[in-house]
Chain A
Amino acid sequence: GNSVTQMEGPVTLSEEAFLTINCTYTATGYPSLFWYVQYPGEGLQLLLKATKADDKGSNKGFEATYRKETTSFHLEKGSVQVSDSAVYFCALYSGGSNYKLTFGKGTLLTVNP
């Protein structure tokens, strides 16, 4: 079956540091890949997505590139801010009538001033 593995947290960084959160996946076919973010006390928001190999999703300074050869979709940001503190989820959709997203376990990011 499908699975998503993302790096264990928590991740603690200082403001303006470089961020990488690793995400690898196992799926049949050609899945679409997503990063969702959950700010404290809020629901899930789509951060970025990529639907085919070599696509780069980007939003709010975050980027992730769909790498089929390494089955990866790592999230990066060049300079994090305190307001980026949240839980980040990597997810995939590989087709099927249930349109089920398969999520990773989430990575808690804390950015200190």
Chain B
Amino acid sequence: EAQVTQNPRYLITVTGKKLTVTCSQNMNHEYMSWYRQDPGLGLRQIYYSMNVEVTDKGDVPEGYKVSRKEKRNFPLILESPSPNQTSLYFCASSLTVTSGNTIYFGEGSWLTVV
């Protein structure tokens, strides 16, 4: 089954404690991306990756890092989380960057920073 898998699904953490949200896809997709969803703001892109070792900033990259060492994995790293990073995070993937290709989303990761 085609899947984008995120972990953890739910996490409460404290300010400043580094954390990583993992994302893995089993569809051999080249493109992967991270979004955050906040009430009244919809979804906003954090980072994206066109392929292995190729990453770039989206609209709201501050406070986040990513890496793409393998095609299937695209972890989101919060080096020093702050309360304003409390949000619902979605990982997404697509075969390539071509209009018409479907973008698949993971189930989301609820992150609370206290």
- Footprint of B on A, CB under 8 Å? 4, 32, 36, 42-46, 49, 51, 89, 91, 93, 95, 97-101, 103-106
User: Knowing A89-B43, A99-B103 touch, does A43 contact B97 (C-beta < 8 A)?
Assistant: no
Contact of A43 among B42, B100, B105 (CB under 8 A): B105
Contact of B94 among A89, A91, A95, A99 (CB under 8 A): A99
Closest Cβ of chain A: how far from B31's Cβ, in Å? 6
Q: How far does the alpha carbon of A51 sit from the alpha carbon of B101 in the complex, in Å?
A: 10
Q: How far does the alpha carbon of A103 sit from the alpha carbon of B40 in the complex, in Å?
A: 11
A103 touches B90 (CB 8 A): no
Apart from A97-B97, A103-B44, A104-B42: 12 A-B pairs, beta carbons within 8 A: A4-B42, A32-B100, A43-B105, A44-B43, A44-B90, A51-B99, A89-B42, A95-B99, A97-B50, A98-B45, A101-B103, A105-B41
Residues from chain B with a CB closer than 8 A to the CB of A100 are 33, 45, 48, 58-59
A99 touches B31 (CB 8 A): yes
Closest Cβ of chain A: how far from B49's Cβ, in Å? 10
Q: How far does the alpha carbon of A68 sit from the alpha carbon of B99 in the complex, in Å?
A: 17
How many residue pairs between the two chains, A and B, have CB atoms under 8 Å in the bound complex?
A: 60
A98 touches B42 (CB 8 A): no
Residues from chain A with a CB closer than 8 A to the CB of B104 are 46
Contact of A99 among B33, B41, B42 (CB under 8 A): B33
User: Knowing A89-B42, A105-B40, A105-B42 touch, does A98 contact B56 (C-beta < 8 A)?
Assistant: yes
Closest to A42 in B: B107
Most central of A43, A49, A103 by chain B CB within 10 Å: A43
Closest Cβ of chain A: how far from B5's Cβ, in Å? 10
Q: How far does the alpha carbon of A51 sit from the alpha carbon of B99 in the complex, in Å?
A: 8
